[in-house]
Each structure stands twice: as C-alpha cells, then as structure tokens.
Chain A
C-alpha cells in the first residue's frame, strides 16, 4: 500500500485518494469550504491549500492525488498565511450578520476564523450590497451577501437531483447564485441545500429565526417515515433553567451513511419531524362508562392478563385478536410472534398500516412505514385488517393508530362496540381513541432503542434520540411484561430486559438477521 507523510506522520493510503481524503482518514483536519465528498473537487474556495515538498506553489489538498512518498505540510508558515489570506478575502465582502444569522454556531467561516484567522479587518471600502432574502425554493431563502460562491448548491442540483434549478449569474465580484425568474427549487431534496451550505447563505424557512444551535442537543436516529431508513440527526431542545422551551424537536438533518442514504434525506423526512411532537398520546387512560380514568401500566397488565387467562381457560383463544403495524421494530415483531403466536397459540392477526403513497424514485419509498421488510423476514404473512373480521372477538389488542386511517371509521365503531375489551397501544392521538377501552401511549422510533430492516434488507440498530414523555412504555417492554404476567415461556423471556437481548435471540433463531 502506498504511504504518504502528513506533517511528519506516515499514513497508509489507497491509490486514487486525494491528500484531503488521506488527511481525514488520519484524523488531520484540513479546512475546506467548496469541497464536498459527494461531488468532484471544485477547487475554487482555495481554503485547502497545503505545502507539498518539491513543488514550488501551494497545492490544493482536495484535488491533489496521493503518490507514494508524498510529503505534505499543513502547518507551515506559508500554509498558515495562505489560509489567513483566503479568510480575509472571504470576510472582506461578507456581512457581519452573526447576531442574526441562523448559521451561527455551526458556520464554517466562524469556525475557521476562530482557528486560523483572528485578525482585525483592514477592509475600508464599501461592501457590495446584495439581495438578502431571495426566495430560492419552497423552503429556502438565499442571502446573497453571505454567499461565498462555493457552488455546492448548484452542483447538488446539477449532479445529485439533476434538476439543474440554479446557476451562477454575472461575473467577478458581481457573481451570484440565482434561479430562473421565479422558478423556485421545488423537489423532494431541496432541504439538503440548506444543510450543505457552509455559511448562512441558504437558510431553511422551517428553521429560520427559531432558535440557536448551541441550545440544541444532537442525537443520532433513523427516520421512520418510509422504509428507506435514512440515517438522521435529531436536533432537540432539552430545556434550560431560564430559557422556556417552546418546542422539543427543532430540526432533522441528514447523517452520512454510504450504504443507505449517502449524504442526503428527502424533504418528506426532513420536515416530518412535526410527527415527533404533535398529536402525541401522553396519558395512560381507561375509558369506562364514558369517563376517562388514569391508571398505571401494571394495573393494565393485570386486567389484560386476566382477560387472556380467562379466555385461555375456556379454550376461547380464537376470540383474541391482535392488530400489528410495520412500524414496530424487529425486536417488537419478534416478541409479538413468540409470545402471541408460538407462546399463546393465537391465530387472529391483522396488519394496519398507513396507506401506501408514491415513491419519489430515489430515497422515498411507497411504503410509509419503517419495518415492512422486517415484518416479512420475521415471517408475518399478515392480511390487512378489515373491520368486519374484527367481529366475534372478546379481546382486541391494537398496535398503532393506523386502523383509523383506513376507510369506514363509522363501520369500525359499530364493530368495535361489539368487542368486549379493546386496548390501543399508540404514539399518536387518532379517531381510535374514542373507540377503545385502554389507551397506552408508546414512544415513536426516535424515542426507542432497537432495530429496523430497511427496504433493501439492511438491519439498522439505533438508540433513543429523544426522551419518551408519555405515561406508557415501549411496545417491546409492554410485550415482555405481558409475557411475564401470562407466564409464557418464563425461562426464555425472563432474561430479556433490553432490545439488544431480544435482538440476540432474534439473530439466533432467524438466519436472515445474522448477515
């Protein structure tokens, strides 16, 4: 394997790597603005200039290919001076907007100025005045004064979405990013533009002026709004002693995963975070005689357990029905299978999912649930739930609010009225709330730990990114509690106390999950 030296440190490289890639692999940070790993090197910001032994001029790390024995210096006086020079040029025609700019706290110019600049401005001339609030896209605003013309936005639209909505207009210092007339950027990936803009030139209308990034916590998660399983980062407000929390989740950003979503997420997922906070089911209640009583989960387990034991004793397990959904994690679907089908021998199972919609030909799939593939691989051949089929049941456990999204809610009411006991495990308020007896709030995927199987069969494990603030519990824990209450296969279920423990069992039993 060829070897190069960066600041004296020997680094093994692969043929075809650039100096920048080699540096990143070795943990050496070379500042850069226009470079983005998704695009071919642009070489226009000039921030990544480094010194290469044997070459008279400074060279760009982003576009210089490695050669065995290459010696690179990223800290020499010439390099330090060049970085300051580039920063000085950029800041000379840059507005001092930090106090009102959303990018503050995650701005490359700020970061690099702090690390490599720290000089007083010598610019005494009049800065170019430009449009500061150009509507660029459905959700995008362009501030042309802040723009450093890295052209990441143009290149994204040329090379990734291939919609070619934007371009560079004029010449020289008058250069600016623009669209044609008012033909706004309007595709399902426009939100990525605000994310890849290294400064506050392109801002997201959805996030604009709402908070400061340093007040937010960033946690990794998986998007649950379709079966792609894009990797995301959720930025939420944890609450501070003297700063009131106006909302919890402020923003979702794309997280890199070369095998799933590359560097991108679609707008449907990016702006779908409202579902994490809005219309959440919070209270554990029992609807009895038209009144809602708060009660504990332990009490619910007792009541439901009694019902099951009674029906089992009278050999009437055919009067127990379970409605599942494919947003449940692998662990939850596995537990449901082992407890209800294998353990209790139940055989009345249905699937209620949100309706399929159009995919966008790239990341967004027609299935709008996160674990359809997991459902298949764990072996659930479930029919869709039809209201008529729910007749003749005494006990119905419904997982997910999606029965309400099917047709005929009125029919459903008349059917459910004839079911003696109905328990609903749901994350969101829905039309089902008025039709069931027990409502148990459950967390959404972002608030749980576990694993999901995406449309391509990739199993992704995740930990909670947000705290669950409802009175209920995750479905996997609810299922294990029921198993314990009903004494189903104690030796098997008793040691399971984490999603990981369940996953290990799942792996042991189903070869697919061992890949």
Chain B
C-alpha cells in the first residue's frame, strides 16, 4: 500500500537517527529509534530477537504468518492504534475471552517485549516488508 510506504518515509524524516543507502538496494534503509532495517528485511539484532519471540509464541496461528490477521486481528492495523503500554498489557495478560494467550509465563516473550514491539511496529509501519527477517551483519 503506497500510502503506508510514503508515510514511513515521512517518519524516517522525523525520527531519523542514522540512515544509509546501499547501491542496488530496492528500499532505502529505514531507521527509527525503535528498529533499523535495510532492504526491507535485514534488521538489527534487537529486532531480530523480537522476530524470534514472535515465532516462539506461535502468534502466526491466530494473527497470520504475515501479521495480516486470521481469527485474530491484523497486527499491521493493531500496531497503528495500540499504544506501547496497551501492547504490553495485551501480550502479557492476553485477551482470554477472545482466545489470545496470556504470555506472562513465557520467558522468551516477556524478556523480549520491547524487541517484539519493535519488530511488529516495523511490520506495521511497512518498513519491514516481509515477515521473515534476517539479522544485519555487523
């Protein structure tokens, strides 16, 4: 959705900490205070940990492998409206009546809450263009 991409470029302009361009890259690199991504799928190590927590929680079973929504809502949309605090509360305590697990006893999810938020925000922003990410080589 082109409107999302142009919005993320505006966000980059506002939040930009470090940007760099690579010759031949399809996407310009994006960096925010939350995440860094190159080519749309190479991310910093913290965001990579967030991806691993996403996998460990088996979140795709309800939210879709691309966060697009299945029986659970689209996280592409949800991360646009939830505050960070609301996100943390929802993941920690679940939404039991709607079928969402309370992840408070999952060490990998709780230890990587900020990283998970960064990964999902990157997906929602459209800066991370695919679900499966790889770690940026140093």
A and B: bona fide binding partners = no
| A contacts, CB < 8 Å to B | none
